[in-house]
Amino acid sequence: MNSVRITTTFVLFVALLSCASWRCTPTSGAIEGLEQGGTYAPHKNLPLRWPWRGVSIESRYTRPDEIPYLATTGLNFIRIQLKPDKRVLRENSSVQSVFNAELLWADSILDAIRSTGITSMIAFNNPVLDPNSKIDKTTASFWKSETELDSAHSLFNLIVERYKSRGEELAAYEFMSEPVIRTPAGGINPPGLEKFYGRILHNLRQVDTTRWMLLSTGPWGKPTNYEGFSPYAFNDSKVFYGAHMYLPDAYTHQGVRDRPLGVTYPGAIQGEHWDARRLAQSLRALRSFSEKSGYPIFIGEFQAVRWAPNADVWVKDVTTLFEQCGWSWAYFAYGAGQHFWDPFYSHNPAGKEKNLKYTGSETPVWKFMCTQFSKNRQP
């Protein structure tokens, strides 16, 4: 079992980027609002099994013996989320032992998918493991502290060193996919984010030249952040860009914490009419970025709380848009951690507004997602 080792490495790998662009190809029954662009050459260098159609998982709710079932759905990708910061809150163990337990769980998932044709990405997005710390990844003090940053990079280095000899069951890494600093006025993009990613990428390439690395931009990794955004200046042919799709937040997160309930889709949401066309418009900046830069795009999370009115319609609409653009995606989530994100739960209209009931794999939204996974079987 590997143990956590704190090291300091200050190297920035920055150069100019040159790559081909790709075309967002409409499908039959395409949703209007994306505005088809010109003719684009396909990206010649793509991650293994691309495009990915899959799910996110975490250790608390997904065991390796569930992989055979997931393989039957046709999905070709799993986003393996390491969440030691959550695990330490529910287990009476040290931070180090909990981190290592998460790695052992990831080992077991990778072993289970090795012979299935499924590939995966290790996603580790909160490197502050101590739940009692006043610093976390969303505080300005984290991004200003060389000690905190060194500790984070030490954990990243341990992960890539551990998995450098893995085969096709592991295609990529994700570190800090929702970069943000919380402020009283709202979230902002962390300063020095490009340098932060550059250091990870440099260290990754010292031990692994095979796997891809996901990049994002803040705040919160929203697709609208790509308005006017230029690619980071990394001379690396195995990077791709991502976003998490929860727009409009007032709809997808209604009833979570203190957010008001009763927001309907399609319908008027915070003074705007939201429907499939408006969703398409919210993705235009990301689509424009991908066409101009040539980078592959990955939507790492998307979901609406299960009690949101017409949540299944919203999921179908955004999935259709991702497919229309040729983007890869991971549905959030299989074994989501909270029932209101879990596709195996349905809204119980006979109960209270937030009442859910366990339905299992027969929910309409999960059946729909399985039809999308089955596209991976098509030639």
Q: What is the DSSP letter of 31?
A: P
Q: Which of the four pLDDT bands, split at 50, 70 and 90, describes residue 8? A: very low
pLDDT digits (tens, 9 = 90+) for 150-189: 999 999 999 999 999 999 999 999 999 999 999 999 999 9
Region 127-147: mean pLDDT is 93
Distance (Å, whole) CA 335 – CA 56: 8
Region 70-88: mean pLDDT is 96
Share of the chain above pLDDT 70, in %: 87
Domains of the chain: 53-377 (3.20.20.80)
Distance (Å, whole) CA 197 – CA 250: 30
Region 139-147: mean pLDDT is 96
203 pLDDT higher than 50: yes
* Helix pair angle (364-373, 311-325), 10° resolution: 10
Residue 29: its pLDDT value, please?
A: 59
21 pLDDT higher than 70: no
**Closest to 14 (Cα-Cα) out of 229, 192, 263:** 192
pLDDT digits (tens, 9 = 90+) for 84-107: 998 998 898 899 999 999 999 999
More confident: 21 or 94: 94
Residue 378: its pLDDT value, please?
A: 82
CA dihedral 3, 205, 43, 48 (to 10 degrees): -40
Question: Cα separations (Å) of 55 from 183, 215, 254, 300, 319?
Answer: 31, 19, 22, 9, 13
SS3 84: helix
Question: Helices marked H in the chain — which ranges?
Answer: 67-72, 84-90, 95-113, 140-144, 146-162, 193-207, 249-252, 276-282, 284-293, 311-325, 364-373
Distance (Å, whole) CA 249 – CA 78: 25
10 pLDDT higher than 90: no
Residue 45: its pLDDT value, please?
A: 86
b (16+ CB within 10 A) / e for 316-344: bbbbbbbbbbbbbbbbbbbbbbeebbbbb
254 pLDDT higher than 90: yes
